[in-house]
Structure 1
Amino acid sequence: MTDDYEPSPGRRESQTHTKPAGNTAPRSEQPRRGRSVGERLIRIRSGETETESTPALCTGQHRRPHRHPWSLSGRPRPRLLSRRRGIVAIAAMIAAVTGLAACSSDDNGSGNTANGSGAPEIVVGNIGTYTGPTASSQAQAQDMAKAWASWVNAHGGINGRRVKLIVMDDGGNATTALSQVKKLVEQEHVVAIIGNHSNSDVNWASYISGTDVPVIGGTSLDLPFVTNASFFPVGPSVIAGLYGVLQIAKSTGPKMGLLYCAEAPQCASAVPLYSTLARALDLSIPYNAKVAASAPDYTSQCQGLKEAGVQSVSVLAPSDTVVRVHRACADQGINVPEVAQDGTVTTTWLKEPSLNGMRAVGYVAPFYDRSIPATQEFHDAIQQYAPGIEAVLSEQSADVWASGKLFEAAVRAAPAGDLTAAAVKKGLYSLKDETLGGFTVPLNFVEGKPTSIKCWFTLGIEDGRFVGPKGLETECAPASVVDPVVATLG
């Protein structure tokens, strides 16, 4: 599904970038059924399963160049084809037609100007899994992306140029996601993809590497943000984030419990990784068990935590399951504080007494903070352009905002001349210890190398309100622990 989000009417002018050659995707671009431990782990917080949903169709007209009636390439085919080649060609044609129908656009491709000045718009893309099983935890990200674009344009654009945002919803389908990213790059000519919340980014990461288009920010827990040089994270890597969770757990005592979702194999695959990192902190995990979202109660898991004598627990499951587990344990007189990934924490947790004392790793500045101009601006934009997400606000929105602000900084730092995708990358490389006014940990990017950020913020809940145990100070994982583990994910 495509959403051309343009806060005010106008005409769009295409941006220039290096376009990948060829019409056939290499094998590395195709959706992969097997995933490494790191790849499987990245979806724990949203409870995604390994299955793919059917791509949703969307409205709009797809404009195709004239092609020879017998050939997808525009040239006549040989008269004779083997049966196997014929079947492959037909299958490819059907896939192409259905894929294009699923991500068509209403945009007419005309040029657009900013504030009547004649300056062309800056076209950027956003992709996420905004419908399907994980939509409840990620849907607000697209609203925040639109709010960012509206806020930027209402404040003069970037260097006097308006932003046009094109939003794609992959519906949790890997094939759809790849098709949509190709559309953003090859047809919409975006100069960047910001706020990536696609659960299928491992399937299109190799494609984007063959272009100049940077993927700026989004869910930094996703594997490409630590293994792919075309991805520019705004927060710590999945390994540093897990280390942060374990470090917080260690501060409460030497034993941590681990509960993980029963619905998807990738949840269980996280256990060995947690154990490896825990040893570096001299922390033990004496009890781990599955939790199913559909379970009527969690008596056995709560009793297991009690018998193991743990001082904290990390529940790797969707946000509402975390709430139900802690509520069930509290009903049995078992109160073990939660140590969470910030992505699962929402404002709804404030209403749950059993989560009092919770601590979490924050990937960007805590989403509730208003203590500095950078975080206040974030809330001002929400109030003006996305008030509906305030009641369920989470880190998902904060990392999208950070993505947009990093893109702004990159454009302003880009070389003079045409603003291309390659120029945006040069702008990113020129930034040094960039914190976006305190909204992120210091960000540095090296050309041609993946980025492994090792620092995070800390947040918690006390007496029904959010607290920052260390304010906006950050903590970092040692490179000697994180880097060897990251090296195994490449």
Structure 2
Amino acid sequence: MGRRRRFRAAEAAAAVLLLALSAACGSRLPESEFEHDDRAPAPGRTDAGPIPVGIITSATSPVGGDAFTGPRDGARAWFEQLNARGGIDGRRVEVHLCDDGGSGVGNNECVDRLVDEEKVVALVATTALDYAAASRVSRAQVPDIGGQPIGPAYDTWPHLYGIYGSLAPREGTPGWDGELYGGTEVYRYFKREHGARTAAVVSYNQPASAAYARLVERGLRAEGYEVVTEQVDFALPNFRAVAADLREQGADLVFDAIDRHGNARLCEAMDAVGATVLAKVTNVQNWTSRVAEDYRDAPRCRNALWATGASRNFDDTGHPAVREFREATEDLDTHSQWQLEGWAAARWFTDAARSCAKEGVTGVTRACVDAYMDRSNGYTAGGLLLPVDFARLPEPPEQSRACLSVARWKDGSGWVTQGDMNRTCFDVPLLAYEP
């Protein structure tokens, strides 16, 4: 395989883990809220109506109010700027927001409203905790562009185009015969580039947490690591004992299958007992500007935080596409990698719609946008994403040429990019797992 393709096993599993952990705390499922984003028309042609798009987000969910809103906020910022500049061929993009509450029922309600009532041309930057209506979106042949693969929907259904792509057949069954595949490029990176040899995996004694930890362990062992497993009680976690053992075991890396609050407490404990590591590795969902606040009581561990993903570091303002994103979102309280990926998803839709606009007033259709998406292999959103593929391979690949974006937190500088993401690439094996 010569494709620069990342298999997002870790991020998908981690996001599902969040629900399991929060539900175990007894969180109440809130009711769905529906929003309509009305904005004044931009100057331009007046002989055509606005182009409707929909954004489904689990904004109010058992996980918390801000866990999934990043892609939505990034996409909205793109469309605001686009409309201020005249829209698409003079037509304003009309954004319809829908909060599905993190439930399957709410997700179906959102699809009813956006697909059937509002007649949106496409869904953009979907971030749904339970994408129960994915098959309905597919049957309606509504392109879903740049959604986050929290579950297996983007590796299951046609007309759904996840932000990281998919090589699966997408014929109604997840992946290949119900199995998805994850690469080991993150573990290879720290071994090759930084000489790491021992890695610890910290989890709760809770089924979803333990399952995700086992997936990480498999990848580490496949790369030849000595693996230290640490499990804490979910109800009464003793992070200080874990931190002391990490110090004694001499772990180079720490990976985790615990929530954000648990991570902060683990870091505090590591600082308290003097456990130092080469890297405390997190994923794209936790790649945010809130590090100084979340880890305020763990300065040493905080400055050992590393993040990996498949999109360009949102703090890399030396890149023109990132700088445009940051300038357009400067009024946001915090920034995150998911915001940047939502922005990229909206840009992807815009490029698709512009390819249709030449057909005339009615040229921006679901079919035209879908056709563009289906042939958009190698898309990068102006350099914000690693090249995205939708190949529909009949058999699962055994290995992949996988690239990754890497950043390290540094107080006073934020997330500092580590190397060129288009050149930080490895030929790695792919490991099967069930979603």
- Check whether TM > 0.5: yes
AA matched with 1:303: A
2:201 maps to which of 258, 272, 277: 258
1:170 paired to 2:118: no
**Alignment match, 1:145:** 75
Give the Cα separation in 1 of the matches to 2:89 and 2:31: 37
> In the alignment, is the contact (CA less than 8 A) between 1:42 and 1:223 conserved in 2?
no
Q: 1:319 to 1:37 in 2, by over 3 A?
A: closer
**Alignment match, 1:13:** none
Q: 1:106 to 1:288 in 2, by over 3 A?
A: closer
1:228 maps to which of 152, 157, 163: 157
AA matched with 1:426: A
**Alignment match, 1:469:** 418
1:431 maps to which of 371, 376, 382: 376
Q: 1:287 to 1:331 in 2, by over 3 A?
A: same
TM-score (norm 2): 0.80
**Alignment match, 1:455:** 403
Task: Please list the CA deviations of residues 397-432 of structure 1 after superposition, one character each: whole Å capped at 9, or x if unmatched.
Answer: 111111101111111234835322121111112334
Unaligned runs of 5+ in 1: 1-35, 59-102
> In the alignment, is the contact (CA less than 8 A) between 1:192 and 1:213 conserved in 2?
yes
Q: Tell me how far 1:366 sits from its aligned partner.
A: 0.8
> In the alignment, is the contact (CA less than 8 A) between 2:79 and 2:93 conserved in 1?
yes
Give the Cα separation in 1 of the matches to 2:204 and 2:393: 36
> In the alignment, is the contact (CA less than 8 A) between 1:257 and 1:287 conserved in 2?
yes
1:196 is paired with a residue of what secondary structure?
coil
> In the alignment, is the contact (CA less than 8 A) between 1:158 and 1:411 conserved in 2?
yes
2:338 maps to which of 376, 393, 396: 396
Q: Percent identity?
A: 23
Give the Cα separation in 2 of the matches to 1:197 and 1:165: 15
Q: Tell me how far 1:364 sits from its aligned partner.
A: 1.3
**Alignment match, 2:23:** 49
1:388 is paired with a residue of what secondary structure?
coil
Give the Cα separation in 1 of the matches to 2:373 and 2:66: 32
Higher RCO (CA < 8 A, seq sep 6+): 2
Give the Cα separation in 1 of the matches to 2:11 and 2:411: 35
> In the alignment, is the contact (CA less than 8 A) between 1:236 and 1:456 conserved in 2?
no
> In the alignment, is the contact (CA less than 8 A) between 1:53 and 1:171 conserved in 2?
no
1:374 paired to 2:303: no
1:419 paired to 2:364: yes
**Alignment match, 1:320:** 261
Aligned ranges for residues 204-353 of structure 1 at < 5 Å?
204-235=133-164, 243-250=184-191, 251-261=194-204, 265-290=207-232, 292=234, 295=236, 298-336=239-277, 337-350=279-292, 352=295, 353=299
2:133 is paired with a residue of what secondary structure?
helix
Q: Tell me how far 1:279 sits from its aligned partner.
A: 3.0
Q: Which has the larger radius of gyration?
A: 1
1:269 is paired with a residue of what secondary structure?
helix
2:134 is paired with a residue of what secondary structure?
helix
AA matched with 1:162: R
> In the alignment, is the contact (CA less than 8 A) between 1:258 and 1:285 conserved in 2?
yes
TM-score (norm 1): 0.71
AA matched with 1:49: A
AA matched with 1:218: G
2:305 maps to which of 347, 358, 372: 358
Q: Tell me how far 1:225 sits from its aligned partner.
A: 2.6
Give the Cα separation in 1 of the matches to 2:216 and 2:305: 19
1:168 is paired with a residue of what secondary structure?
strand
Q: 1:179 to 1:114 in 2, by over 3 A?
A: farther
Task: Please list the CA deviations of residues 1-54 of structure 1 after superposition, one character each: whole Å capped at 9, or x if unmatched.
Answer: xxxxxxxxxxxxxxxxxxxxxxxxxxxxxxxxxxx9997554236755378844
Task: Please list the CA deviations of residues 321-366 of structure 1 after superposition, one character each: whole Å capped at 9, or x if unmatched.
Answer: 3222111111111123301112112212146422213221123111
**Alignment match, 2:59:** 130
Q: How many residues align?
A: 395
Q: Which moved more, 1:137-146 or 1:40-49?
A: 40-49
Q: Which moved more, 1:143-152 or 1:236-245?
A: 236-245
Give the Cα separation in 1 of the matches to 2:306 and 2:379: 26
Q: CA RMSD in A?
A: 3.4
Give the Cα separation in 1 of the matches to 2:215 and 2:391: 27
Unaligned runs of 5+ in 2: 1-8, 167-174
Give the Cα separation in 2 of the matches to 1:291 and 1:437: 45
Give the Cα separation in 2 of the matches to 1:261 and 1:228: 32
Q: 1:413 to 1:455 in 2, by over 3 A?
A: farther
Give the Cα separation in 2 of the matches to 1:446 and 1:413: 21
AA matched with 1:423: C
Q: 1:412 to 1:445 in 2, by over 3 A?
A: farther
**Alignment match, 1:87:** none
